[in-house]
Amino acid sequence: MRRAERANLCWEYFKKEHPSPRTELDYQVPHQLLIAVILSAQCTDRRVNAVTPALFAAFPDLDSLSRASASEVLPYISSVSYPRNKASYLVRTAHILVRDHGGQIPSVPSVLESLPGVGRKTAHVVSSILYDLPVIAVDTHVFRVSHRLGLVRSSSGTPLAVERDLCGLIPGSLRGRAHHWLILHGRYICLARRPRCSDCGLFKICPRLGVSV
């Protein structure tokens, strides 16, 4: 089965089973999403959601966060991964957003990437969710599931290579949803160590099981 054919079957399945997927990070306003995504690097969404309510209450807007010190932010995020680095990123990013962008979150991924603590994946997540841009963010779940389902070439060994392969298979109008579909499938079904293949609606086309239709 060709990759394009396999991909179309995947998207049709996901559209039927999960027509409106969304991020599992909790946020109310745009800058809170950016903060949550920065905190989620090498950390679970559940852990991030556990710390952000108190963080957002203490620093309710970018202006208050920009005037804080990293040491003031640190106690609120001490249980996430790399808290000292992330505390510094949040304060510095807030300062730049207030100073250079009027407190608004840029829509252009390359501009987002210029912010402290914001890499390509974070920039694509934020611009996809907030502005519905046709970009794909490749995290560990997307990387793993894309390979297991045969959506990307086996030689695509980097997140950027996977991103390019997926962009060739996913129409722009579906990319935002496809990002969430692959993440959620990897988080709850196609687990890293013990994938729940018996619960997977895509098992018939999964090359990992040696099955095709």
| pTM, 2 dp | 0.92
Q: What does the pLDDT look like over 124-138, one tens digit per residue?
A: 999 999 999 999 999
How confident is the model over 29-59, as pLDDT tens digits?
Answer: 999 999 999 999 999 999 999 999 999 999 9
26 an active-site residue? no
For the chain, how many residues are written? 213
Per-residue model confidence as pLDDT tens digits over 150-189 = 999 889 899 999 999 999 999 999 999 999 999 999 999 9
- 16 catalytically annotated: no
Catalytic residue selected from 139, 165, 199, 204: 139
> What are φ and ψ of residue 168, in 5° steps?
-80, -15
Please state, in angstroms and as integers, the Cα–Cα distance from residue 109 to each residue in 5, 46, 102, 121, 136, following that order: 30, 25, 17, 9, 11
List, in order, residues 6 or more apart from 14 with CB less than 8 Å away: 21, 177, 178, 181, 185
Let me know the angle formed at the C-alpha of 93 by 92 and 96, rounded to the nearest 5 degrees: 90
List the catalytic residue out of 100, 121, 165, 199. 121
